Structure 1
Amino acid sequence: MSYTPSSSVVAARKALAARLQDIRKDAGITGRELSARCGWHPAKTSRIQDGKAAPSEADIRAWCEACGAEGQVADLIASLRAVDSMYVEWRRMERAGLRRAQESVLPLYERTSAFRVYASRVVPGMLQTRAYTTAVLQAVQRSRGTLDDDVEAAVKARMDRQRMLFSGGRTFALVVEEAVLRGGVCDADAMAGQLGHLITISTLPTVSLGVIPFRQGRLRSPAEDFYMFDDTQTSVELASGYLQLTQPHEVAMYAKAFAELSRMAVYGPNARAVITAAIHALG
């Protein structure tokens, strides 16, 4: 994909910075004069205009007041909040505990009819067994220093969400890399159970499960994991957090990427053969 998720946030910040710069120019004042009116150093004005520093809501109010553009404050603050909501750090999301983090996405899942999921690191949450989910969330707790000992409650929340696989009215298209099937997320017994569960789930009429086999000379490198919710939102999982993309052109980019990845995958008996081979490799 010739697109990096962080570029979305950068572009949105630069667009906001450009609007602030235009407001200053329309007011006919220099950056130095604006800085004096706002009571801050000129370097701050330069950083904000260049998109290198994000303004606070108070900064936007002061900027607009200095330029006589108070009528634009509400719209600019709405734009700032939209940029802030695009990227969410895992630590911030999990501050209230792993259970709350799992429950927070339930409304989005409930209003989605068509799911498209690509996974290159771990089995998608909606296909995980209880043992696999427990291992994943315990690893999250260790690596991110989550203090609340609520793994069991978080596992239950994720398991409850899986009822959607059987509730009707929804479709699930999932593509996973073969590396996911051979990852050391949990012990061999739990992994064997997880792989067997994938074989069972792959036979559901509402589920399309594709596996991208290991191949030499592959043209596309594995991408970051992402979840598509209808054609309205894409959530991209990064090492430090996740992006929520809602702009139509951004969602379309991921739809195109998912279509390309889907064409690289095998399905049905061929996918189950790859999964079975991974089970046998466990010994």
Structure 2
Amino acid sequence: MPTSPNSAAKKAQEALGLRLRSLRIDAGLTARQLAVAANWHFTRVSKIENGVQRPTDTDVRTWCAVCVADGEASDLIAQARSIESMYMEFRHRTRTGLKYLMRSPVPLYERTTQFRIYEHNVVPGLFQTAGYIRAMLPFWFTFLGVRDDLEESVQARLDRQSVVYDGSKTFSVVLEEACLRTPLGGTEVLIGQLDRLLSIMSRPNVALGIVPSLTVRDVIGSAGFWIFDDSLVKLETPTASIEVSQPQELGLYVKMFDHLRGCAVYGADARRLVLRVVDELE
């Protein structure tokens, strides 16, 4: 299959090609030798290794078998499958407004039992107030060039928050202190949002930690990310949603989340931090 026009998908395809090339080299095979063993034209090997062509599941299994690396097959297949879906353009999903985009994660939320959420500059959507949402969305209608369906989109985002009240689901959340200080919609809106966070923190199925801004640390999260059970990671850029399902990479996000969680304060310390910001705002 030809390379996706999305740059993120292209880079992912090139990374897959490099991993397959490394397997071939480790097996001591030339590209022609691998092609002969797999009964392929030799240019197929070159195209896959250079990210020009995405390998099928069968291609990956054959490649691993020839290189005597069958143990790598499942991870590589997951990586290959994710390329097609990892970079879903918002523009194509929002032509009739943002309401559909707000509703699209609902099936994923409903089947997820463990949410792990890291945000570095915004309160997570599952905990946002109507005022906070209403302050966030108008920019995106203009930026993405889509129909303004503000009130429908606000309600759709509020509706999906029902999962927070499902006692069978758990939410482990790490926020940077900057999330508490981003005044979307102004001071009054932010104070209302912080009051909502204090309420959420009291729920038995929510563990909400905050990383104080002056914490001495050895790592920062470069982007917010959400981990759904042990099956999927989602990140959002200004123009797209990126999905990661490759087991090895997913494991790295879990490792990063655990590290960031170790920097956070919880319970009474977290509440005091939120209340201190409220006092400063008032």
Q: Does 1:131 find its partner at 2:131? A: yes
What CA distance in whole angstroms lies between the structure 2 residues aligned with 1:91 and 1:235?
A: 17
What are the superposed Cα offsets for residues 10-32 of structure 1, whole Å, 9 maximum, x if unpaired? Answer: 4236568999x77993357564x
Query: 1:72-91 counterparts in 2 under 5 A?
Result: 82-91=82-91
Q: Which residue of 2 aligns with 1:25?
A: 35
Whole-Å separation in 2 of the counterparts to 1:189 and 1:100: 29
Name stretches of at least 5 consecutive residues in structure 1 with no aligned partner: 35-44, 61-77
| Aligned pairs (5 A) from 1:64-143 | 82-143=82-143
Q: Which residue of 2 aligns with 1:259?
A: 258
Separation of aligned partners in 1, 2:123 and 2:108? 20
Within 5 Å, give how 1:110-189 maps onto structure 2: 110-145=110-145, 147-189=146-188
**Offset at 1:167?**
2.3
Structure 1 residues 279 and 221: CA distance shift in structure 2, 3 A? same
- Indicate conservation of the 8 Å contact 1:112/1:229, yes or no: yes
Q: Distance in 2 between matches of 1:214 and 1:117?
A: 18
**Does the CA contact (< 8 Å) of 2:226 and 2:235 recur in 1?**
yes
* Distance in 1 separating the partners of 2:154 and 2:188: 18
Counterpart amino acid of residue 25 in structure 1: A
For the structure 1 residues 79 and 195, does the alpha-carbon distance in structure 2 shift closer, same or farther, using more than 3 Å as the test? closer
> What TM-score do you get using the length of structure 2 for normalisation?
0.76
CA distance in 2, matches of 1:252, 1:80: 17
What is the DSSP-based 3-state SS (H/G/I as helix, E as strand, rest coil) of the residue aligned with 2:137?
Answer: helix
Match of 1:11 in 2: 15
Which moves more between the two structures, 104-113 or 92-101? 92-101
- TM-aligned CA distance change 1:108 to 1:281, over 3 Å: same
Normalising by structure 1, we get a TM-score of 0.75
197-206 vs 217-226, greater mean Cα deviation: 217-226
Cα RMSD of the aligned pairs, angstroms, is: 3.2
Provide the C-alpha distance between the structure 1 equivalents of 2:126 and 2:229, rounded to a whole number of angstroms: 16
Query: For the residues of structure 2 that align with 1:139 and 1:154, how far apart are their CA atoms?
Result: 13
**Cα distance per residue 1:130-154 (max 9 Å; x no partner):** 1101111222223333x21112111
Q: CA deviation at 1:86?
A: 1.3
* 1:12-64 C-alpha deviation (Å, 9 max, x unpaired): 36568999x77993357564xx8xxxxxxxxxx9776521x45799xx9xxxx
8 Å CA contact 1:16, 1:80 repeated in 2: no
Contact 2:82 2:246 in 1 (8 A): no
1:242 is matched with 241
**1:97 Cα deviation from its structure 2 partner:** 2.4
Q: How many residue pairs end up in the alignment?
A: 246
Question: 1-side partners of 2:219 and 2:198: how far apart?
Answer: 26
Pairs within 5 Å for 1:194-205: 194-205=193-204
List alignment gaps of at least 5 residues for structure 2. 1-7, 24-30, 60-77
Q: Distance in 1 between matches of 2:209 and 2:177?
A: 10
